[in-house]
Amino acid sequence: MIYLIPTHLGNPDPQLLPIQLKTTLENCEVLFAEHLKTARHFLKAIGVEKKIDDFEWHELNKDTQDAVVRQYLQLATTKVCGVLSEAGVPIIADPGAALVKLAQQKNIRVVPLTGPSSILMALMASGMNGQSFCFTGYLPIERMERVKKIKQLEATARKENQTQLFIETPYRNNQLLQDLLQNCAADTLIGVAVDITLATESIRTMTVQDWKKQIPELHKRPAVFLIG
């Protein structure tokens, strides 16, 4: 069995996490995480009673080789395993999909726990179409390619009435917002969701024209962007 275990988005309040989280973690024998140090700190922060070193720990990130993932899967055939997200829910904009894909192929039970997802929470509060939407992940780093992608997303949002969601490395947020405002039509709706679940949380949807009147400071703040 493999449990998909959510973590917080920055706000450590345990009420934001599923009530069965601690019990599930204590039942796990093996834990996979993107960064082991962060995952260990998370378990201590939420008060897991089982000793941290009693878990079998393995790193699972975007650089984990396929052969290693297959070795990890073998553990799930005899032990209760858990995949811990770095922030939010596992697999969604997060490593681990290769392990879950193999588990499905081998008929190993995969159990997702509920938890905070910045992508879904941004969509919920944006006022944009929640019936048809697409998460693109990260846009290209190279500026010309990024601008081209932005225009494609805007065209799709208009043609299909489909909300387009994407993210950026936090230190490039301001640059991405500038590219959106410079290359989208004045009446295009742009959603910006930052610091979700934190005291500084802000989820706003406005036209490009209105955003230009009050451009927020987004540097190093976790953000989700939407076009609708």
- If one counts the domains in the chain, the total is 2
Handedness of CA 171, 172, 175, 179 (dihedral sign): negative
- 135 and 103: one domain? no
Q: What angle do CA 198, 200, 205 make, to 5 degrees?
A: 105
Residue 14 has pLDDT above 90, yes or no: no
Residue 65 has pLDDT above 90, yes or no: yes
- 153 and 52: one domain? no
Residue 64 has pLDDT above 90, yes or no: yes
Please identify which residue in the block is written with the tokens 């927020």: 216
pLDDT digits (tens, 9 = 90+) for 125-177: 999 999 999 999 999 999 999 999 999 999 999 999 999 999 999 999 999 99
- 150 and 54: one domain? no
Alpha helices in the chain (DSSP H): 21-27, 36-45, 66-76, 97-105, 118-126, 143-160, 173-183, 208-211
CATH number of the domain within which 94 lies: 3.40.1010.10
Domain end residue (candidates: 79, 112, 145): 112
* pLDDT value at residue 68: 97
pLDDT digits (tens, 9 = 90+) for 73-95: 999 999 999 999 999 999 999 99
- Do the Cβ atoms of 95 and 64 come closer than 8 Å? yes
CATH number of the domain within which 139 lies: 3.30.950.10
pLDDT digits (tens, 9 = 90+) for 173-226: 999 999 999 999 999 999 999 999 999 999 999 999 999 999 999 999 999 999
* pLDDT value at residue 129: 98
Mean pLDDT of the chain: 96
- 143 and 206: one domain? yes
- 108 and 123: one domain? no
Residue 96 has pLDDT above 90, yes or no: yes
Q: What angle do CA 115, 116, 120 make, to 5 degrees?
A: 120
Domain end residue (candidates: 112, 140, 155): 112
**What is the C-alpha separation between 81 and 114, in angstroms, rounded?**
17
Domain end residue (candidates: 112, 140, 167): 112
Q: Which domain, by its residues, includes 215?
A: 118-227
- The model carries a pTM of 0.94
Handedness of CA 95, 99, 100, 102 (dihedral sign): positive
- 26 and 70: one domain? yes
- 187 and 124: one domain? yes
* pLDDT value at residue 138: 96
- 122 and 44: one domain? no
* pLDDT value at residue 111: 98
- 44 and 131: one domain? no
- Do the Cβ atoms of 29 and 80 come closer than 8 Å? yes
Report helix angle 66-76 to 97-105, nearest 10: 60
Question: At residue 4, what are phi and psi to the nearest 5 degrees?
Answer: -100, 110
Handedness of CA 126, 138, 97, 131 (dihedral sign): positive
- 222 and 122: one domain? yes
- 39 and 93: one domain? yes
Q: β-pairing, 189-194 with 223-227?
A: antiparallel
- At 220 the three-state DSSP class reads coil
Residues in the chain: 228
- 212 and 164: one domain? yes
